[in-house]
Structure 1
Amino acid sequence: MDIRYLVTHSGGFHADELLSSVVLTQLFPQARLIRSREAGWITPASDRIVFDVGRAYDTDAGIYDHHQVPGPLRPDGQPYSSFGLIWLHFGRAYLAALGVPEAAVETLHAGIDADFVLPVDLMDNGTLDPGSAGALAGLTLPVLLETLKPDFDDRAPQADDTAFATAQHIARAFLDAAVKGRAAKQRAAGVVKAAIEGAGDAAVLELPMGMPFRAVIEDAGADHLLFVVHPRETDWAISAIRKHADSFALRADLPAAWAGLTGAELEQVSGVPGARFCHAARFLAIAADRHAALRMAALAVEAAQTPG
């Protein structure tokens, strides 16, 4: 395969496309990683693999997305994320590239899929609560850091020290991120509290930018709020609010008729010019501008408050 580009979406990232990129950059080290939502990049072509964007799953075209409706499902009916799709098609080659013996590849591929990949898929699709995912998959930070220990049969004199240095680098990144993240949440809290006060009894909270808001809304007892809107780099987001921080259950879903739609189709169904995208799980929608975002949010509130 003459792959020159590995293409995923720009903006905020999730574990599924990040882990997909780890697999693909290992297999295609010559390829340039592109993060973009421009049609020219996310359109399939013979020189690229497109993942977690593009709204199609077509191995012949080299595109591996899961946001379309219906999305790709495993044989047992559980949903794939982009990581599950990339692991399904490239995981065996990835294992071989890491030196796994051919006779062990199939068993190892299946085991990693069940214990590591599947929980990522389920979390990304909103079918597994974050609070239970770590215990289910053994993906807590202490467990993950200890997986960096040398193999039992690695008898190299410096094996432990080398592994420690590698683990220390990763552990530092997580600790520093934890400190910075919590400091940022404190800064965001003041902005969100002021916005809540300004919103009064409205069911939609407008923020000046994307920021952590769920815990502040819950602490403020602002149970009347159903959706949050805020600008992004080139568009606006409408986010549903979770009932609890450790659950994917929402106070209100975006309208069912919008699920998985994009572009002109979503504009037609919603009646909102500038409506661009609604996630299949109905927790996120994107609009071209503030007016369209607020109109979509108002319609979502109306739908949520209409009996039946």
Structure 2
Amino acid sequence: MSITHLVTHSGGFHADELLSSVLLTRLFPKAQLLRSREPAWVSPAPAKIIYDVGGAYDSAAQIFDHHQRPGPMRPDGAPFSSFGLIWAHYGRAYLTAMDVPENDLDEIHGKFDEKFVLPIDLLDNGAIEPSVAGPLSALSLPSLLGSLKPVFDDMSPSADDDAFFAALPIARSFVEAQIRGLAAKARARSIVARAIAETAEATILELPMGMPYRSELDKAGADHILFVIHPRGEDWTLNGIKLSGDTFEQRADLPASWAGLSDSALEQASGVEGAKFCHNARFIAVASTREAIVKMAEIAVNEQK
């Protein structure tokens, strides 16, 4: 039997059922999304998926609540929210609907769960303090979505529903952007790995375009590579490589004499015709041709000796 209704609770909303709705409305676009606490609606039936309401977790009956005691837990003991439950059961189907290649499904499903779903599960269940959640991007999303709730003195009987349905496309944009980013990293992996192999022992990695590369450098143990070059529009860029995602420190900086210079001033300082720009923090430089950017990269490497 096809799904005709997606049912979550009425009243104020949280990130978990809003993000669950993002997944389910893509998978079941013809189903009616209904917000209710009426017993008739939150009781399981073959044509309904019920989530974040109903007092039970039973995937066979298509009911995914987490507020009952004991609530559903992950294998490691972390609590699920409705988003985690929906992702566990429908996430792979959602990724397929997002055109993620089959070979990448398991990896992207796991990464999205770890980086995006789990933090929301923990915060929704009070298993992590808001003070810890605030600085972290994956955990600030519930606060951002919560800011879309109606103000306290909006007495319109439809205020909560209106705000929920207005927030839904905004939440969708965050989820889809995350998935597209993970899928892009998966596509980039083989390109970067091939470029690393072709680079051999050289210190400059050339890529055909801008793409994620640092994790593949770490995986390959290519610590000898100091800079990355690639075309960007009509120009070429020279990039430093961060030591990790938690710091701005690089394996090697661009020359201090280039910092903050552009055009003729940078050409004079570098001795490279076609040099166009170097960031003051010395992590990126731009030139008008490949020949120019290669010369700049070679100069930057020689300064490390």
Matched, 1:277 2:277: yes
Q: Deviations over 1:218-256 (max 9, x none)?
A: 121111111100001110011111101232221111111
**Matched residue, 2:156:** 156
Q: Secondary structure at the match of 2:190?
A: helix
**Matched residue, 2:145:** 145
TM-score, normalisation: structure 1: 0.54
**Matched residue, 1:230:** 230
**Matched residue, 1:165:** 165
Bigger radius of gyration among the two: 2
Structure 2: unaligned runs, 5 residues or longer: 1-131
- Residues in 2 aligned to 1:230 and 1:162: alpha-carbon distance in whole angstroms: 47
* Greater mean alpha carbon deviation, residues 225-234 or residues 137-146: 137-146
Matched, 1:241 2:241: yes
**Matched residue, 1:220:** 220
- Residues in 2 aligned to 1:165 and 1:250: alpha-carbon distance in whole angstroms: 44
Q: Deviations over 1:148-192 (max 9, x none)?
A: 112222222222112112221111111111111111111110000
Post-superposition offset of 1:294: 0.7
Post-superposition offset of 1:139: 7.2
Structure 1: unaligned runs, 5 residues or longer: 1-131
Post-superposition offset of 1:141: 1.8
Runs of 4+ in 1 over 4 A off after TM superposition: 136-139
Q: Return closer, same or farther for 1:134/1:210 CA change in 2, 3 Å cut-off.
A: farther
**Matched residue, 1:294:** 294
**1:115-126, aligned counterparts within 5 Å?**
none
- Residues in 2 aligned to 1:138 and 1:291: alpha-carbon distance in whole angstroms: 41
**Matched residue, 1:183:** 183
TM-score, normalisation: structure 2: 0.54
Identity of aligned residues (%): 54
- Residues in 2 aligned to 1:179 and 1:295: alpha-carbon distance in whole angstroms: 37
Q: Secondary structure at the match of 1:171?
A: helix
Asked whether the 8 Å contact 1:257–1:269 carries over to 2, the reply is yes
Q: CA RMSD in A?
A: 2.0
Post-superposition offset of 1:136: 7.4
Q: Secondary structure at the match of 2:286?
A: strand
Q: Return closer, same or farther for 1:139/1:162 CA change in 2, 3 Å cut-off.
A: same
Q: Secondary structure at the match of 1:150?
A: coil
Q: Which amino acid aligns with 1:207?
A: L
Q: Secondary structure at the match of 2:293?
A: helix
Q: Which amino acid aligns with 1:216?
A: E
Counting matched residue pairs gives: 174
Q: Deviations over 1:107-161 (max 9, x none)?
A: xxxxxxxxxxxxxxxxxxxxxxxxx996179972222122211222222222211
**1:1-308, aligned counterparts within 5 Å?**
135=135, 140-303=140-303, 305-306=304-305
Asked whether the 8 Å contact 1:215–1:245 carries over to 2, the reply is no
Q: Secondary structure at the match of 2:178?
A: helix
Q: Deviations over 1:9-43 (max 9, x none)?
A: xxxxxxxxxxxxxxxxxxxxxxxxxxxxxxxxxxx
Post-superposition offset of 1:282: 0.8
